[in-house]
């Protein structure tokens, strides 16, 4: 379910102690976000007049708000609250399709696709593009480059990117240290790692790009968004 933001509008006295000591009084808007970030806005400008980002602790009661982080402390004394309340808050992002579970709107935000209505969340592989194309399950499809361009469902359990990459590149290249096969493995991200691990611990992160011939060192080369590169990111032989 969505997190909540606490909002208080009223006549307040704000005191901040720490790296920028301040003491202010006036009619302000106090916003306490779900991560504890506390902001105090007045009528001028777009920046808050006082704030504390992701503090260690926040206390909100009838007459005050107190946020503390180490030796920094923000205190808002509420003399007259014109209005106050807690309101649902979600990540905002670019709409990418409809949620098949609740018919809400899916949005892309911070490396994932989420449904603000029901809370469903799907991680996006690095460099993935969400397509205007829908899987049979109702979720959008993605285009991801891992040695080739693959189109898969947003839900990895529906259409697995790992299986597609493995079918295309597992055992296709030789280990430069022992001559064994490089296997497609997931170790956080996708890697090409030697089949003889742990006796041979050679491994390379699978780059975002398309396989494009070979490097002078013998390893495969890839055309990536930042240019052509060897599978070994530290290789200096590629011309």
Write down the pLDDT at residue 189.
Answer: 87
Element (H, E) at 34: none
CA distances from 206 to 36, 88, 199, 209, 232 (A): 37, 39, 21, 9, 9
3-89 maps to which CATH number? Answer: 2.70.180.20
pLDDT(28) > 70? yes
Q: How far apart are CA 60 and CA 34, in angstroms?
A: 13
Q: How far apart are CA 226 and CA 28, in angstroms?
A: 47
Confidence band (pLDDT; 50, 70, 90) for 188?
confident
Element (H, E) at 162: helix 161-169
The dihedral built from the CA positions of residue 208, 213, 216 and 218, taken in this order, carries a sign that is: positive
Residue entry with tokens 């080369």: 221
The contacts of residue 214 (CB under 8 Å, 6+ apart) are 220, 221
Report the candidate in 5, 17, 6 with the shortest Cα–Cα distance to residue 75: 17
Write down the pLDDT at residue 1.
Answer: 44
Confidence band (pLDDT; 50, 70, 90) for 117?
confident
Per-residue model confidence as pLDDT tens digits over 71-116: 999 999 999 999 999 999 887 899 999 999 998 999 998 889 999 8
Confidence band (pLDDT; 50, 70, 90) for 149?
very high
Question: Residue 97, class by beta-carbon neighbours within 10 Å (0-12 exposed, 13-18 middle, 19+ buried)?
Answer: buried
Per-residue model confidence as pLDDT tens digits over 220-234: 999 999 899 999 988
pLDDT(2) > 80? no
Write down the pLDDT at residue 119.
Answer: 86
Question: pTM surpassing 0.85?
Answer: no
pLDDT(180) > 70? yes
Mean pLDDT in the chain? Answer: 93
Mean pLDDT calculated for residue range 22-34: 96
Write down the pLDDT at residue 109.
Answer: 85
DSSP codes, 73-142: EEEEEEEEEEEEEEEEE----EEEEE-TTT--EEEEETTEEE-TTT--EEEPPTT-EEEEEE-TTSSEEE
β partners of residue 222: 211, 229
């Amino acid at each position: 379910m969505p997190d909540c933001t606490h909002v208080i509008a009223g006549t307040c006295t704000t005191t901040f102690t720490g790296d920028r000591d301040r003491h202010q009084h006036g009619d302000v808007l106090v916003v306490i976000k779900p991560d504890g970030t506390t902001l105090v806005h007045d009528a001028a400008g777009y920046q808050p007049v006082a704030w504390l980002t992701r503090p260690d602790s926040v206390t909100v009661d009838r007459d005050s708000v107190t946020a503390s982080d180490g030796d920094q402390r923000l205190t808002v004394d509420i003399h007259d609250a014109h209005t106050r309340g807690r309101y649902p808050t979600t990540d905002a992002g670019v709409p990418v399709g409809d949620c098949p579970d609740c018919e809400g709107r899916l949005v892309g935000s911070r490396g994932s696709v989420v449904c603000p209505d029901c809370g469903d969340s799907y991680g996006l592989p690095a460099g993935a593009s969400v397509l205007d194309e829908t899987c049979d399950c109702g979720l959008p499809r993605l285009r991801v480059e891992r040695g080739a361009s693959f189109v898969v469902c947003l839900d990895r359990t529906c259409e697995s990117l790992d299986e597609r990459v493995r079918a295309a590149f597992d055992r296709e290249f030789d280990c430069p240290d022992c001559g064994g096969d490089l296997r497609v493995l997931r170790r956080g991200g996708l890697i090409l790692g030697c089949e003889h691990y742990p006796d041979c611990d050679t491994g390379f992160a699978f780059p975002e790009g398309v396989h494009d011939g070979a490097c002078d060192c013998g390893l495969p080369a890839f055309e990536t968004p930042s240019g052509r590169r060897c599978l070994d990111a530290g290789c200096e032989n590629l011309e």
